[in-house]
Structure 1
């Protein structure tokens, strides 16, 4: 019996393709998610802390964060376009990733040269929106590529590597970027992001999705049979299938857990720099040093243990542990005012919180991927992530009015209440029933 060989043109062979090599797949997604984390670290943590240090109000800071999150909440608009159109000789999603990376570099350069950013908030927010748009654009393409080429049995491990590397990117960007802000200037800090992202762009430039494809439009190669088979060409089929799977009971529950939980996490991560700088008297550099280290610990732990724990003990069981743990430790922080002046206490909370946050994100994103229908999984997964980012934007918007009307104890504890609501909804989610329902949809399509 002969085993079918993968499509390949001998003239295009060289570095193994992502579909052929497991470790290159992991390396590719680690690099791309790390690149996504770099601008996010500055937009959602570093710049807000810098704004707080320079006397900007919680309302102004929250508005900036909302604008920076907004593109991640509308990225579903571009997902069907990526499913429908591409340059197949270079792969289904790789051309879009390259566009996203190039856009990130150029938009970071634009952001770096915003004049007098602290006194020109409208221009600053517009520039931040553009950076976030290209970050979300690359995210859609990267997730689509992941769904296409990562085997089901590797998804939990891959999610651990991907999310962990993004957290590492956020923490390193926050630490180094905040230092550059303090020691040099806003322009230098943001230009450094563009340089590092430019170096990382070499990864998708030289790694093909499948063997035999072109490295660049002018090089040798052609579309692989696998890409041609997966490519969708009918808008009606895309949206009909997407509606069918997204209207399932457990699809709605997955979306609800994502919306609420990510909103709760974003509320806390946006509140922390305001709390430490305005209430505890930290500088933005103090905050970035402590929080970035805590983020880095969470990211590395996520890469090493996140996928392993999910595989060994089960996604749902571990996600329950992470949600309950998050609620418990936020409650301790909220009602321990006597210890707020102790930096070791706050630092310990940051480390524990970031560990639980990273593991929880790995878990819920792995569950969301598992609940996707392969036929429209890229668009469906992007829809889930869009809903998660809508939750982030919505709950971050509560910070201004909550802090204006309540004490710090109540303002911090609101995050625990939001996560508790997500945990409650999680109890009704049945992943096995979702998978059975997807099989039934597939049979109905074939009949």
Structure 2
């Protein structure tokens, strides 16, 4: 079998499939499950709690990063043991949800099981990103990063539209079983491909650690923390952190608001919302990811991020100010697809910028810190949406429009994060 370092096809396929596996739980929870609960009468406070608990484990990425860098079974590779563990646990926690009695009545239990499940999804994400750092060549990082994010949206489509259709026709438990089976199937890829030649395929197989020069001793966790603190003495790194947080508040509001707004205000069924948001909505996300990577190579990341921000702002203003547009048969669809496209556009460009802002000695941990901040902001956004529920959806959409503009000053004060995305950019870890 080819190794990940020795075969571009093997590493690209593995990374893309792992990213699709991360997208499935996200699409399932934030699209299929939330729309189902909204259709059963859940309010914005309930959907905000689910989306917050689904997002909270992604803030743990800051802690996963140093742990993964420091501890591993090196004879099986630096990252594979963590990926295998996380992928297996993702499947097991899904199957455990079947044991919950009345899934809609036992809301608290369901919410915390969603939290536990996403703890392992976030672990898989960090380990997969770290694997990308290790095995991708500088010349392919831009293109493969776009493919990975597009694959994430493909997974979101499966988890959202696919599982939403299963829920509508067969119920929640069959959806849990089917998704667990798919995640177990994906587990075979990291089981089959070694990172480097000579390593063990499984713990009981023959082989030994095959380390690159400089990898013989992993840095201590204390050393990584000190290095991270040193990296954030630079203003571009600080501004990048402010941008990472402020750019994601509106995204968090959107996740919490959309299922309730579309099912209880627009009049869509929960199945229709799941199929549109998870189906053609995910297709819009894939297009945004691919186009975002292409344009970032040519226009620079700041220009692409600005396009995405202005697009989201314009759509939110239109939805907030125009009663006619809110009840029209076409604009709700345009809003849903347009915001997804613009979020994907700015996300991929933002990834490239964060990679360039990272200090080489702590690149993986620093990048993870940026991603953790973005996820904290999504939780904040969901809380803001729940707080504004009594103010009405006009106010919610206008606040979303204002919030998405906040990161622009931080963006244009950053020096060193713009330019083409290819050639030496760090992948996430």
TM-score range, shorter chain: over 0.9
Residues in 1 aligned to 2:8 and 2:112: alpha-carbon distance in whole angstroms = 39
1:362 pairs, out of 348, 361, 364, with 348
Deviations 1:14-36 (A, max 9, x none): x2222222232221111001000
Contact 1:170 1:295 in 2 (8 A): no
**How many angstroms does 1:350 deviate by?**
1.6
Match of 1:162 in 2: 148
Give CA deviations for 1:252-294 in whole Å, capped at 9, x if unaligned: 1111111111221121132111111111121101111221223
Tell me the residue number matched to 1:222.
208
Secondary structure of 1:78's counterpart equals: helix
Where in structure 2 are the equivalents of 1:213-292 lying within 5 Å? 213-226=199-212, 229=215, 231-292=217-278
Instruction: Indicate if the aligned counterparts of 2:29 and 2:54 stay in contact, CA closer than 8 A.
Output: yes
CA RMSD, aligned part only? Answer: 1.9
Contact 2:249 2:381 in 1 (8 A): yes
1:9 maps to none
Mapped partners of 1:292, 1:382: distance in 2:
26
Structure 2 CA distance, aligned partners of 1:36 and 1:332? Answer: 32
Deviation at 1:432, TM superposition (A): 5.4
- Matched with 1:136 is 122
Of 315, 323, 343, which residue of structure 1 is paired with 2:301?
A: 315
User: Matched residues in 2 for 1:45 and 1:260: separation?
Assistant: 23
The structure-2 alpha-carbon separation of the partners of 1:274 and 1:318, relative to structure 1 and needing over 3 Å to count, comes to same
Secondary structure (helix, strand or coil) at the match of 1:221 reads coil
| 1:204-219 correspondence to structure 2 within 5 Å | 204-219=190-205
Structure 1 residues 247, 313: closer, same or farther in 2, change over 3 A? same
CA distance in 2, matches of 1:290, 1:343: 14
- Contact 2:87/2:124 (CA < 8 Å) preserved in 1? yes
Which of 407, 422, 426 is the matching residue for 1:422?
A: 407
SS at match of 2:242: helix
User: What are the superposed Cα offsets for residues 26-69 of structure 1, whole Å, 9 maximum, x if unpaired?
Assistant: 21111001000111111122211111111112112211211111
CA deviation string 1:337-373 (max 9, x = no partner)? 2022233221122222111111111111121122222
Whichever of the two has the greater Rg, that structure is 1
Preserved CA contact (<8 Å) 2:160 2:279? no
What is the TM-score of this pair, normalised by structure 1?
A: 0.89
- From 67, 72, 88, give the equivalent of 1:81: 67
Alignment of 1:27-106 (within 5 A): 27-106=13-92
Does the CA-based 8 Å contact 1:88-1:228 persist in structure 2? no
Q: Distance in 2 between matches of 1:157 and 1:303?
A: 11
Counterparts in 2 of 1:21 and 1:278: CA distance versus 1, 3 Å: same
Q: What's the counterpart of residue 323 of structure 2?
A: 337
Matched position secondary structure for 2:413:
coil
TM-score by length of 2: 0.93
1:190 to 165, 176, 179: 176
- The residue that corresponds to 1:326 in the other structure is 312
- State the alpha-carbon separation in 2 of the partners of residues 235 and 222 from structure 1: 25
Contact persistence 2:52–2:382 (CA under 8 A):
yes
Deviation, 1:303, is 5.2
Listed one character per residue, the Cα deviations across residues 203-251 of structure 1 (whole Å, up to 9, x for unaligned) are: 1111222222211112222211317626514333222212111332111
1:381 corresponds to 2:345: no
Distance 1:377 1:145 in 2: 13
CA contact 2:83–2:124 (8 Å) conserved in 1: yes
Partner SS, residue 229 of structure 1: coil
Q: Which runs of 5+ in 2 are unaligned?
A: 420-429
Alpha-carbon distance between aligned partners in 2 of 1:171 and 1:432, rounded to the nearest angstrom: 31
Residue matched to 2:139? 153
Does residue 408 (structure 1) correspond to residue 393 (structure 2)? The answer is: yes
Q: For 2:59 and 2:319, how far apart are their aligned partners in 1?
A: 30
Contact 2:193 2:201 in 1 (8 A): yes
Displacement after TM superposition at 1:87 (Å): 0.9
The unaligned stretches of length 5 or more in structure 1 are: 1-14, 435-447
Distance across 2 between alignment mates of 1:386 and 1:46? 24
> 2:378 is matched with which residue?
392
Q: 1:302 to 1:338 in 2, by over 3 A?
A: closer
Secondary structure (helix, strand or coil) at the match of 1:427 reads helix
Q: Structure 1 residue 22 and structure 2 residue 8: aligned?
A: yes
Distance in 2 separating the partners of 1:149 and 1:372: 18
Question: Is residue 294–residue 350 contact of structure 1 (8 Å, CA) maintained in 2?
Answer: no
Whether contact under 8 Å (1:315, 1:363) holds in the other structure is yes
Q: Distance in 1 between matches of 2:29 and 2:361?
A: 34
Summarize deviations over 1:124-145 as a string: whole Å, max 9, x none: 1111111110000101111111
Number of residue pairs matched? 419
